[in-house]
């Protein structure tokens, strides 16, 4: 399977949001995705973008038709979305918000390609490292990250506030 990793473009946003919703289903939280396509797109491609992404694109016909019911000549089958955060202890670091590979394409090395492209990007930008979260029950993801000698920190508690 030939996969192309490229930077996301504004016109990719509808498909990226579909992948986010697919991830939410996998994580047993389908109702938690409340961001609108407009806000999602503006946040990545508006006047002041706060996120960037890479996509994994499969040339040729898709394994399944597009949501509109048509075959496409290429199809985004995965993505990795990140932003830059600042640590007062470490400096600027890449924060991996999501790495998603569509269900039919998992186990084909696409996640590895996306992850390694993120590491390249962080090094090119001279960032001091990369951080992310993984659900404690997501054993496939944990085993994937262990292959890269990632450090797991069980000493922190996630805290959020919504309004």
Residues annotated as catalytic are: 145
Q: Rg for the chain (alpha carbons), in Å?
A: 16
Q: How far apart are the first and last CA of the chain?
A: 44
Tell me the pairing of strands 91-101 and 130-132: parallel
């Amino acid at each position: 399977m030939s996969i192309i990793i490229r930077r996301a473009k504004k016109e990719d946003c509808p498909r990226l949001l579909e992948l986010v919703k697919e991830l939410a289903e996998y994580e047993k939280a389908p109702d938690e995705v409340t961001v609108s396509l407009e806000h999602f797109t503006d946040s990545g491609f508006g006047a002041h973008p706060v996120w960037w992404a890479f996509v994994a694109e499969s040339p040729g016909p898709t394994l399944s038709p597009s949501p509109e019911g048509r075959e496409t000549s290429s199809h985004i089958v995965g993505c990795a979305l990140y932003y830059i955060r600042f640590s007062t202890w470490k400096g600027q670091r890449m924060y991996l918000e999501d790495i998603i590979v569509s269900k039919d394409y998992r186990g084909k090395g696409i996640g590895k390609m996306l992850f390694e492209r993120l590491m390249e990007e962080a090094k090119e930008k001279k960032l001091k490292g990369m951080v992310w979260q993984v659900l404690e029950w997501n054993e496939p993801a944990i085993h994937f990250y262990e292959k890269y000698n990632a450090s797991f920190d069980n000493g922190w508690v996630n805290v959020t506030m919504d309004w």
